[in-house]
Amino acid sequence: MAEIEKKWYVLRAISGKENKVKEMIEAEVRNTDLDKYISQVLIPTEKVYQIRNGKKIIKERSYLPGYVLIEVALTGEMEHHLKNFPNVIGFLTERNAIKPTPLRQSEVNRILGTVDELQAQEAELLVPFKVNETVKVTDGPFSGFSGVIEEVNTEKKKLKIMVKIFDRKTPLELGFLQVEKE
């Protein structure tokens, strides 16, 4: 039997429910004979880290929120079957198009290349700090002092903070991991 031609499509999902949609489709593929029609389900993600309670936490965040990429042969009832999964809104289509629009190979290569790049990349920091925000120093000789952020340097991951010591404002330059929000 000849291989059925599969193309990449974009399935729209409720934002935040992309993983549930992916898991349900993959479970359906495992439990039925849909593996002839569906070869891959992908959620483009990137690694980011946040600072919570002075600790660095690495998380994966959706690179294209609300979208699930799927390599599928849309034959017969396949389109209807995929649209009826919980949390699925439908397929991404061109304007005024009735049928789902497959991605061009150049778009697929760009998205998959970006996904590989994001996976290989060092996790980026979600900057939780803003100017004029009050923070508490958790590390170093000024541990326990509170101050107001004067400047945020995301490249160096440093903050310039004004701390009151003996009723005098003193500037400190501290790393993101040395402070926490109050």
Per-residue pLDDT tens digits for 118-170 = 656 555 556 678 889 999 888 888 888 899 999 988 778 889 999 988 888 88
7-125 and 134-181 have identical folds: no
Instruction: Note the CATH architecture for domain 134-181.
Output: Roll (2.30)
Per-residue pLDDT, 75: 86
Can you spell out the DSSP letters for 61-112?
EESSTTEEEEEE---TTHHHHHHTSTTEEEE---TT-SSPPPPPHHHHHHHH
Residue in 182, 115, 128 with CA at minimum distance from that of residue 159: 128
The type of residue at 150 is E
On whether the CB atoms of residues 160 and 171 are closer than 8 A, the answer is yes
Per-residue pLDDT 10s for the chain (182 aa) are 456 788 999 999 998 899 999 999 999 999 988 888 888 999 888 777 776 766 777 778 887 889 999 999 988 888 888 999 999 998 988 888 888 889 888 888 887 777 666 656 555 556 678 889 999 888 888 888 899 999 988 778 889 999 988 888 889 998 887 888 87
Provide the pLDDT for residue 116: 64
Who's near 167: CB < 8 A, 6+ residues apart?
A: none
What pTM value is reported for the model?
0.62
Give yes or no for a contact between 161 and 130, defined as CB atoms under 8 angstroms apart.
no
Query: What is the structure's pLDDT at 57?
Result: 77
How far apart CA 153 and CA 50 sit, in angstroms, is: 15
Where are the domains positioned within the chain? 7-125, 134-181
Give the architecture (CATH level 2) of 7-125.
Answer: 2-Layer Sandwich (3.30)
The whole-number pLDDT of residue 117 equals: 65
Tokens representing 140 are 């170093």
Quick check: helix, strand or coil at residue 125? strand
pLDDT confidence of residue 125? 55
Q: How far apart are CA 78 and CA 101, in angstroms?
A: 14
